[in-house]
Structure 1
Amino acid sequence: MGPKQDWSMANGTAAARKETKVVHYRECQRNHAASFGGYAVDGCREFMASGAEGTAAALMCAACGCHRSFHRREEEAECDCSSTASG
């Protein structure tokens, strides 16, 4: 899914606004004791990719060995706003 673009007219000028999201994966929330009815997390504070971006290893955490989906996802909205004059 690509960045969202919003085109609006204000005072005769077209302004292009491109919003991107920065995603961080924080602490691991995997319950390692679920198989025997308990609750215990490993304490991994933040996701660290095991490999280069675009590889299967990039989805595994180097600190705890869990898949990235077990880590809490945190999104930050970031706007790359630019305006251009038309005409």
Structure 2
Amino acid sequence: MRKRQVIVRREEAPRSSANSSMTIRSVRYGECQKNHAAGVGGYAVDGCREFMASGEEGTAAALTCAACGCHRNFHRREVETEVACDCSSPPSNGA
């Protein structure tokens, strides 16, 4: 499951120009990193490769993985950030 989080941020620009930027963040949860053998002093993971929500967005089940049953926090979080700049220059007077 790929969750997308969009953050729009306008930065204060100097009065002579009208620049704005937009930051887009894509959040994806990868393989499960829960150590199932921690109680006996070992290290063993279950092999779950990607988080898949058990329920609809906004419910408690959305935080539980359908494949391994672990909470989303045990899965590696990958954040991709993309910054798009809408830079425009002031119109010229034709001189």
The residue identity in structure 2 corresponding to 1:54 is G
Question: How many Å separate the matches in 1 of 2:90 and 2:62?
Answer: 43
Q: TM-score, with normalisation over the residues of structure 2?
A: 0.75
Question: How many Å separate the matches in 2 of 1:20 and 1:48?
Answer: 22
The yes-or-no answer on 1:39 pairing with 2:49 is no
Task: Give unpaired runs (5+ residues) of structure 2.
Answer: 1-5
Identity %: 56
Question: How many Å separate the matches in 1 of 2:88 and 2:57?
Answer: 34
The yes-or-no answer on 1:18 pairing with 2:6 is no
The residue identity in structure 1 corresponding to 2:45 is V
Q: TM-score, with normalisation over the residues of structure 1?
A: 0.81
**RMSD after superposition:** 2.4
The residue identity in structure 2 corresponding to 1:20 is I
Q: For 1:77, what is the secondary structure of its paired residue?
A: strand
Count of residues paired in the alignment: 85
State the partner residue of 2:12: 7
State the partner residue of 2:3: none
Q: For 2:73, what is the secondary structure of its paired residue?
A: helix
Task: Give unpaired runs (5+ residues) of structure 1.
Answer: none
Q: Please state which structure has a larger fraction of its residues in strand.
A: 1
Report if aligned partners of 1:6, 1:18 keep a CA contact under 8 Å in 2: no
Q: Which has the larger radius of gyration?
A: 2
Question: How many Å separate the matches in 1 of 2:52 and 2:85?
Answer: 30
State the partner residue of 1:74: 78
Question: How many Å separate the matches in 1 of 2:45 and 2:58?
Answer: 27
